[in-house]
Amino acid sequence: MSRLDSFIRRLEAQRACLDRAAELIRGLDGFVLELGLGNGRTYDHLRTLFPDRAIYVCERQVAAHPLCVPPREMLILGDMRETLNAARGWLGGRVALAHFDVGTGDAARNQALAAELTPRIVPLLCPGAVLASDPSIDCPDLETLTLPEGIAPGRYHLYRRQP
């Protein structure tokens, strides 16, 4: 499989997981939290899926396509290891969907960052909230969900915070 093939599969898996997550949280109140803005393509997909929800976006420094930059008041700027701690006061238990894809292009580094951030992300989730993630997440409070049809195990990840 070429890198073009595997990139397409990863993007298709990401989209299928976000679309599935949108169904799963349909009856659940709460914010959407995008952890990593990047070029803003996924953020654009999230705002298409969730026109009626507030979408908060964590990013170190905005470098997205001009049409995909969130409003200033929805941006949580800085190192997520710090900003997620600071956000806990007002965001704790109020997020219905979090999406984690830092996309440094280095799988081992993504995985290490995910491990470091997991204890900061999980307390933000409300009971029943969904976490969609590129790296796998290991946390006893999270139940692993079945992936949408056609997505190979491990290509993307879906979790639900235990009620």
Binding site for a copy of itself (CB under 8 A): 1-5, 7-8, 11-12, 14-15, 40-42, 44-45, 47-48, 65, 67-68, 105
| Burial of residue 37, with CB atoms counted within 10 A of its CB: 0-12 exposed, 13-18 middle, 19 or more buried | buried
- CB of residue 15 to a copy of itself, shortest distance in Å: 6
Give the distance, in angstroms, between the CA of residue 22 and the centroid of all CA atoms in the same chain. 12
- CB of residue 112 to a copy of itself, shortest distance in Å: 19
Nearer to a copy of itself, 65 or 81 (CB): 65
Q: How many CA atoms lie within 13 A of 148 on its CB side?
A: 16
27 Cβ contact partners less than 8 Å away, ≥ 6 residues apart:
none
Nearer to a copy of itself, 13 or 25 (CB): 13
- CB of residue 48 to a copy of itself, shortest distance in Å: 4
